[in-house]
A and B are shown apart, each in its own frame.
Chain A
Amino acid sequence: MISAPDVVAFTREEELGDELYREPPLPEEYSVPLFPFAGHGANPWAKVASSKFSRDFILISEFSEQVGPQPLLTIPDDAKVPGSFDLNYFSLRIMSVDYQASFVGHPPGCAYPKLNFVEDSKVVLGDSKEGAFAYVHHLTLYDLEARGFVRPFCMAYISADEHKIMQQFQELSAEFSKASECLKTGNRKAFASELEKKLKDLDYTRTVLHNETEIQKKANDKGYYTTQAIEKANELASVEKSIIEHQDLLKQIRSYPYRKLKESDFHPYEPECTLDQAGAGSEQDLAASDPAEPGEMHLYSRLPSYTPKLIKAKPAKCFDKKLKTLEELCDIYFFTQTLDQLHHIERTFRGDVCYLLTNQISRALLKQQNITNFLFEDVSFLDEKAPENRDRGCQGLSQDAADRKCSEESSTPKVVISLGSYKSSVECVPIKMEQDMDDPQEPAMTESITFEHQENLDYLDADLKGSISSGESIEVLGTEKSASGLMKSESQASLPISPSPQVGRSKVGSRRTVSEDSIEVLSTCPSESLIPEDFKASYPSAINEEPYVDDEEGGLRFNPRLNPDNTDEQEDVSNQENLAQIDSACCIGKESPNFLEPLPELGQKQCDEDGVVRIPPQPYRQAEQGLHSSFVGSPPCDSASGGLLPHELDSRYPTAGREVSRTSLDECSDSTSYISSAASTCSDRTPSPAHPVCLANERHKKKAGQNALRFIRQYPFAHPAIYSLLSGRTLVVLGEDEAIVKKLVTALSIFVPNCGAYAKPVKHWVTSPLHVVDFQKWKLIGLQRTVSPAGVNVLHALSRYSRYVSILDADSKTLRCPMYKGTLVARLADHRTQIKRGSTYYMHVQSVLTQLCSKAFLYTFCHHLHLPINERESEESVVNRRMNFLKLHLGLANEDIKIVQYLAELLKLQYIQEPGQGVNPLLRFDYVPSFLYKI
């Protein structure tokens, strides 16, 4: 295995003799440290700690023609960040070489000065003594008064971690290229504007000189030119030459986009929020300008009123003049945008690189598991533009080209740049063209995704079909709308199965299991379920009943059954079409009266035809009213439901027009109408260089982790409480003090499935009596306990449902819920854990929940698990097989099985949902005996 010459090396030790040892030892500078990570004070975090600056920062430097390299500004603009780090010295180091060396100025053989549009250079270098390493982005700006019209600048990302710079090189390069492009666009605009002013000045000067010459001519009666006249004539000629030169420069700066756009890797800066600011007027202007003849654009047409000045014949000396600041060199809008972008970069890349890397890896992996992400993942995290992923698929192109392509993919190109007086509309034209080119690819992609989805769906459908043959089960519906579904299903029993995924959604339907001492009722209420037609189709007609197989509990378990008929498919298709229309339309579609009319009828039918008590008794029709009101998209009348509508969605909800402001949901939901939510979403789209949602999420995670850690340490009955949440049983946290209740809810919220994605199953604070629909919407509720008459109502309502929900009393520190004897939750919430910080605990919970998701995924999609292997195989043996699988292959026992089954149920629903629709909470009641836990 090991080559012989290498072995020979170690056989010669004896030959070396004492003579060698007398030689001077190898100088340390030529050697390598023996303990690169374990020397004195060395540890994996030491490098960053030993640097002179407290954290990474961005430095903008300039090579000034007057004073040489100098630092201009740092981001963040806080003297504490660079600390004692010598910015002057470092500026000198990074700006001492002109990496963009190419000719600018008056080339030989050319009549006029030539602008050279230099591309940015990127350099990674370091100062190992100071422990500072930098990604340096060199760029050149134009200044009419500068030598050669150019001002070299650089933007440097400075970090103490050398590996971080190289590991994040592509991402840094992409982000800094954006900032640079923005700055340069603004600079070109400012430069053009400066040229225009200069031309006006020159024009005015020429006129003045011309007039003076004419006057002199008239006054001159000597027949020859005086010295003064000759001087004036020379001056005039000089001004005219200058005008031609400046006109040429203006032409060059304006023709820049045309020349650059021919190059494949040009990446024009594209502000993300131009629509608001640019306005229709500028669009018209842009459309009106003829891109084929850029040089023909009128020079002065867009200039605001400017009073020309007379230019002196002799310019000021080089060192007398004051160089323009960076802000003056760039149009203010673009300058602000650049700073925003740099702040964004600083925020994005700050901190330990291991978190950055893991985030990037996690993002890529999460994108491969769309089906399970809704359970416990923060989808907004995925929606963020990831530089790493954007670069994917852009191989073969240069970095800039990749950036451009990917930025076009990730955001709709905004055609307009608010350019004010600058006619650079041409910069926008090719963006459109690119988009057109990309468009044909989109259907292809959608098609392939659909195909794959369909392929899997067929497989899943087969599973579903296989479990619907028994006639023994009893179907019990959990909501008011199911009866109509029964009617429909009978009448349409022979309709063919549509392969559409929407069809499958209703097939899962609602289910119920009944046993001697426990009844489990399950029903689906997808967000669209509040639309009557959907209800009609979505509930199977058969009443299925199955024996309860849990040996330990000795009871009967009624497994979920599915409708054997294909009855509802046809109906579903049409329903889904309607739904699709509603979804794709704005919220006005939701308010269409067409969808309101059948509601009361449905409510009636549910009790009449079924004959089974599907829901606990309700005192009056308030729930239906609530349902109705939430259905129509208006705020509910009472605050019992807290104003949260069943279709309340996360702000990142992908369906167009349905995005809801996250912040408005949490605290101000009582008064939030759907329309206002939609409006607030629009405002969320205003450009935001950082990720405020992400930052808020991070804070929330930390806080939730801290609270959760405290909870599991303080409450010995944390396990059954968490079990309740993981198994889909609603947990109500009851208490007088809002802050305490909210803290508990925040702590427990990290265990609630389907929390972060589309629906919002957590309600932090409710003050009014709860109703059955609330348990469908919310799986974790903070409820106010008051001594007032209203408070009695609240408790009364709660006691009515106490068999179906778990109740954590924050005041008396008690918990009433079913017993938990599994092991999964113990791994998740061990009160003896030595984890010190909330954020660490949150990460631990996340990894355990990911494992749990993986188990649920396997159980859901396991080959031949849900189908009879042959026709003779009984349903019972299929059930046994499932149980064996859960116990033997997944290593689950007792209540852990229920957790996985519940998650699998959600997965199944998610899978057969319309893509992008998300899952809505199940209304699920477990009539299992509850126990009272006390501290």
Chain B
Amino acid sequence: MSALCPPPSPAVAKTEISMNGESPLLAATFAYWDNILGPRVRHIWAPKTDQVLLSDGEITFLANHTLNGEILRNAESGAIDVKFFVLAEKRVIIVSLIFDGNWNGDRSTYGLSIILPQSELAFYLPLHRVCVDRLTHIIRKGRIWMHKERQEHFQKIVLEGTERMEDQGQSIIPMLTGEVIPVMELLSSMKSHSVPEEIDISDTVLNDDDIGDSCHEGFLLNAISSHLQTCGCSVVVGSSAEKVNKIVRTLCLFLTPSERKCSRLCRSESSFKYESGLFVQGLLKDATGSFVLPFRQVMYAPYPTTHIDVDVNTVKQMPPCHEHIYNQRRYMRSELTAFWRANSDEEMSQDPIIHTDESFTPDLNVFQDILHRDTLVKAFLDQIFHLKPGLSLRSTFLAQFLLVLHRKALTLIKYIEDDTQKGKKPFKSLRSLKIDLDLTAEGDLNIIMALAEKIKPGLHSFIFGRPFYISVQERDMLMTF
């Protein structure tokens, strides 16, 4: 690294974080590649605990290991690569996000890592994507920050003719802290309130003697249908934790075991924060009877979300995947552009206040009524309550229903794959697909497409993307007149 780099010091800056519950995370680290000294750790975040499971020396050793070998890094411009280690000798797992950035005048390689005990592997894996997505985005922002700091730093040098060591490269740490702590809190909350892998159907609405016993028939139909149409991603809010959790468990019946482990029950004493990227989460309303969802985080969820209010029995859903991804990307780009254009630290630090770019005006009314009805869920609900509760009959029937959905989804993927020669040609026979695969009801198609999207990401954009983008461009064009 250059002369601007602070001198090596055995003591690495550390932030200790007080957690309410058990923290499965041992530590988080931020390290960089020093051209002279090799990998070096700049900052450590660790939960404040009485028992030290991993000493700072060990954390540093591990963090250094994540950057070892990155001298051979061969990445696309701007790429943030994910490395995942299971080091049985050290009994830890490490998730590292490796990226290139400009800091203090030098282009170098950096690594943001989180370290967990190896025993948490099964707990962590379903949450991998959530953690990585969130850390990736904060890195995107941090990278801009670092770049801008470098410019400001040189401006200061030119203007003041002096160098202030304390200004150099420190401010990225608070920014990273702003996301590392929520990730720790998320993992902690999942440790205590994640939905179990196996759900007893008797804890759900599907165990009722008759449809409508626990909740209104239409509401249940809408909730499950919309839940499936939004890729199994739902937020359930209500004033009663018990009621909320019953619906959460019911919706989780329609998820895979690993998706369930990425879902969270409602805490009865006080509500959790909304967490972007969970499949189903139960949230408790406050004393005023409302729960405020953070727009930015809802937008950053990988899939559109269904909003279910168990108090007033309303079900609202976000637009389908291709629209959601498009809106998400435009929002992200505008947020990053706003960072790039920010002139002062105040502007940079005002996290939620972002500017839009010249062409993007997001529709804040993201949750809308369910537009398309389905026959699949309706028939399922009409039929399952004919089976005697308390036996395994309903579970078997549910398994059959899910199997039908998954098989239809795979058939749909294969159909499109055949028709487009694996994406080489555009897909033009949606009408035939609907008839051939018996998906003529729009809601049915949405459900199967949503399921297919999860196992074949990008399918929505491939099928529906082009006409949608054209219509958006036309709309934007008209708006300029």
B429 near A834: Cβ-Cβ < 8 Å: yes
Q: Which residue of A32, A163, A353, A372 contacts B336 across the interface (Cβ within 8 Å)? A: A32
B359 CB, nearest partner CB in chain A, Å: 11
Q: Mark B404-433, 1 if CB is under 8 A from A, else 0.
A: 101111110111011110111000010011
A847 near B407: Cβ-Cβ < 8 Å: yes
Q: Which residue of A1, A120, A372, A835 contacts B292 across the interface (Cβ within 8 Å)? A: A1
A43 near B140: Cβ-Cβ < 8 Å: no
Nearest A residue (CB) for B329: A34
The reply on A3 being an interface residue by CB < 8 A is yes
The reply on A839 being an interface residue by CB < 8 A is yes
Complex CA distance for A443 and B401, rounded to whole angstroms: 31
The reply on B217 being an interface residue by CB < 8 A is no
Q: Mark B393-406, 1 if CB is under 8 A from A, else 0.
A: 10111011111101
Complex CA distance for A89 and B437, rounded to whole angstroms: 46
A99 near B65: Cβ-Cβ < 8 Å: yes
The reply on B8 being an interface residue by CB < 8 A is no
Nearest B residue (CB) for A99: B87
B393 near A889: Cβ-Cβ < 8 Å: no
**Chain B's interface: helix, strand, loop or mixed, by majority?**
helix
Complex CA distance for A861 and B295, rounded to whole angstroms: 47
Task: List residues of chain B with CB within 8 A of the CB of A396.
Answer: 119, 122
The reply on B388 being an interface residue by CB < 8 A is yes
Q: Mark A34-46, 1 if CB is under 8 A from B, else 0.
A: 1111100011111
The reply on B240 being an interface residue by CB < 8 A is no
Choose, from B20-28, B43-51, B152-160, B348-356, the stretch at the interface: B348-356
Q: Which residue of A13, A37, A357, A889 contacts B382 across the interface (Cβ within 8 Å)? A: A889
B329 near A365: Cβ-Cβ < 8 Å: no
A456 near B391: Cβ-Cβ < 8 Å: yes
Task: List residues of chain B with CB within 8 A of the CB of A187.
Answer: none
Task: List residues of chain B with CB within 8 A of the CB of A844.
Answer: 411, 415, 436-437
Task: List residues of chain B with CB within 8 A of the CB of A118.
Answer: 89
The reply on A706 being an interface residue by CB < 8 A is no
Task: List residues of chain B with CB within 8 A of the CB of A30.
Answer: 78, 140, 143-144, 147, 336, 340
B364 near A10: Cβ-Cβ < 8 Å: yes
User: Which residues of B, 286-326, contact A by the 8 Å Cβ criterion?
Assistant: 292-296, 298, 307, 322, 325-326
The reply on A20 being an interface residue by CB < 8 A is yes
Task: List residues of chain A with CB within 8 A of the CB of B462.
Answer: 37-38, 43-44
Task: List residues of chain A with CB within 8 A of the CB of B216.
Answer: none
B103 CB, nearest partner CB in chain A, Å: 13
Given known pairs A12-B355, A45-B423, the reply for A862 and B78 (CB within 8 Å) is no
Given known pairs A6-B296, A96-B72, A368-B399, the reply for A840 and B418 (CB within 8 Å) is yes
Complex CA distance for A32 and B133, rounded to whole angstroms: 13
Complex CA distance for A123 and B69, rounded to whole angstroms: 12
Q: Mark A838-861, 1 if CB is under 8 A from B, else 0.
A: 011001101110110110011001
The reply on A452 being an interface residue by CB < 8 A is yes
Task: List residues of chain A with CB within 8 A of the CB of B361.
Answer: 10, 13
A486 CB, nearest partner CB in chain B, Å: 34
B68 near A97: Cβ-Cβ < 8 Å: yes
Task: List residues of chain B with CB within 8 A of the CB of A3.
Answer: 292-295, 352
Task: List residues of chain A with CB within 8 A of the CB of B88.
Answer: 119-122, 398, 400
Task: List residues of chain B with CB within 8 A of the CB of A362.
Answer: 403, 406-407
Given known pairs A35-B465, A372-B400, the reply for A354 and B413 (CB within 8 Å) is yes
B292 near A96: Cβ-Cβ < 8 Å: no
B389 CB, nearest partner CB in chain A, Å: 9
Nearest B residue (CB) for A127: B74
A358 near B119: Cβ-Cβ < 8 Å: no
Q: Mark A363-392, 1 if CB is under 8 A from B, else 0.
A: 011101101100000000000000000011
B457 near A858: Cβ-Cβ < 8 Å: no
A44 near B403: Cβ-Cβ < 8 Å: no
Nearest A residue (CB) for B427: A43
The reply on B125 being an interface residue by CB < 8 A is yes
Given known pairs A2-B364, A129-B76, A354-B413, the reply for A169 and B84 (CB within 8 Å) is yes
B261 CB, nearest partner CB in chain A, Å: 10
Choose, from A21-29, A289-297, A573-581, A624-632, the stretch at the interface: A21-29
B169 CB, nearest partner CB in chain A, Å: 17
The reply on B81 being an interface residue by CB < 8 A is yes
Task: List residues of chain B with CB within 8 A of the CB of A368.
Answer: 395-396, 399
User: Which residues of B, 53-102, contact A by the 8 Å Cβ criterion?
Assistant: 65, 68-69, 71-72, 74-79, 81-89
Complex CA distance for A779 and B329, rounded to whole angstroms: 57
User: Which residues of A, 494-521, contact B by the 8 Å Cβ criterion?
Assistant: none
The reply on A325 being an interface residue by CB < 8 A is no
The reply on A333 being an interface residue by CB < 8 A is no
A36 near B458: Cβ-Cβ < 8 Å: yes
The reply on B387 being an interface residue by CB < 8 A is yes
Interface size on B, residues (CB 8 A): 115
The reply on B337 being an interface residue by CB < 8 A is yes
A-B contacts counted at CB < 8 A amount to 320
User: Which residues of A, 95-144, contact B by the 8 Å Cβ criterion?
Assistant: 96-97, 99-102, 118-130
Complex CA distance for A480 and B183, rounded to whole angstroms: 73
Complex CA distance for A585 and B468, rounded to whole angstroms: 66
Interface residues on A, range: 35 or more
B400 near A854: Cβ-Cβ < 8 Å: yes
A787 CB, nearest partner CB in chain B, Å: 42
Complex CA distance for A365 and B405, rounded to whole angstroms: 11
B403 near A45: Cβ-Cβ < 8 Å: no
A1 near B147: Cβ-Cβ < 8 Å: no
The reply on B14 being an interface residue by CB < 8 A is no
The reply on A147 being an interface residue by CB < 8 A is no
Nearest B residue (CB) for A86: B74
A863 near B386: Cβ-Cβ < 8 Å: yes
Complex CA distance for A827 and B387, rounded to whole angstroms: 26
Given known pairs A7-B295, A38-B461, the reply for A365 and B399 (CB within 8 Å) is yes
A45 near B417: Cβ-Cβ < 8 Å: yes
User: Which residues of A, 42-76, contact B by the 8 Å Cβ criterion?
Assistant: 42-46, 49
Task: List residues of chain A with CB within 8 A of the CB of B457.
Answer: 37, 44, 163
The reply on B372 being an interface residue by CB < 8 A is no
Task: List residues of chain B with CB within 8 A of the CB of A452.
Answer: 391-392
Given known pairs A5-B352, A33-B329, A847-B408, the reply for A10 and B432 (CB within 8 Å) is no
A835 near B436: Cβ-Cβ < 8 Å: yes
A302 CB, nearest partner CB in chain B, Å: 31
The reply on B35 being an interface residue by CB < 8 A is no
Q: Which residue of A45, A101, A853 contacts B400 across the interface (Cβ within 8 Å)? A: A853
Complex CA distance for A123 and B89, rounded to whole angstroms: 13
B358 near A21: Cβ-Cβ < 8 Å: yes
The reply on A92 being an interface residue by CB < 8 A is yes
Task: List residues of chain B with CB within 8 A of the CB of A834.
Answer: 419, 429, 432-433, 436
The reply on A300 being an interface residue by CB < 8 A is no
The reply on A931 being an interface residue by CB < 8 A is no
The reply on A173 being an interface residue by CB < 8 A is yes
User: Which residues of B, 130-148, contact A by the 8 Å Cβ criterion?
Assistant: 140, 143-144, 147
The reply on B171 being an interface residue by CB < 8 A is no
Nearest B residue (CB) for A6: B295
Q: Which residue of A34, A366, A371 contacts B330 across the interface (Cβ within 8 Å)? A: A34
The reply on B121 being an interface residue by CB < 8 A is yes
Complex CA distance for A27 and B143, rounded to whole angstroms: 11
A837 near B418: Cβ-Cβ < 8 Å: yes
Q: Which residue of A16, A358, A854 contacts B455 across the interface (Cβ within 8 Å)? A: A358
Q: Which residue of A28, A102, A170 contacts B78 across the interface (Cβ within 8 Å)? A: A28
B386 near A123: Cβ-Cβ < 8 Å: no
The reply on B224 being an interface residue by CB < 8 A is no
Task: List residues of chain A with CB within 8 A of the CB of B383.
Answer: 858, 889-890
12 A-B pairs (CB sep. < 8 Å) = A99-B87, A125-B84, A358-B407, A358-B410, A361-B406, A362-B403, A364-B257, A365-B402, A836-B418, A844-B437, A853-B400, A889-B386
Other 14 A-B pairs with CB < 8 A, given A118-B89, A398-B88: A1-B307, A2-B294, A3-B352, A9-B353, A35-B326, A99-B87, A166-B125, A361-B402, A396-B119, A834-B419, A835-B436, A851-B404, A854-B404, A889-B383
**Nearest 3 A-B pairs (CB), nearest first?**
A43-B423, A37-B458, A29-B78
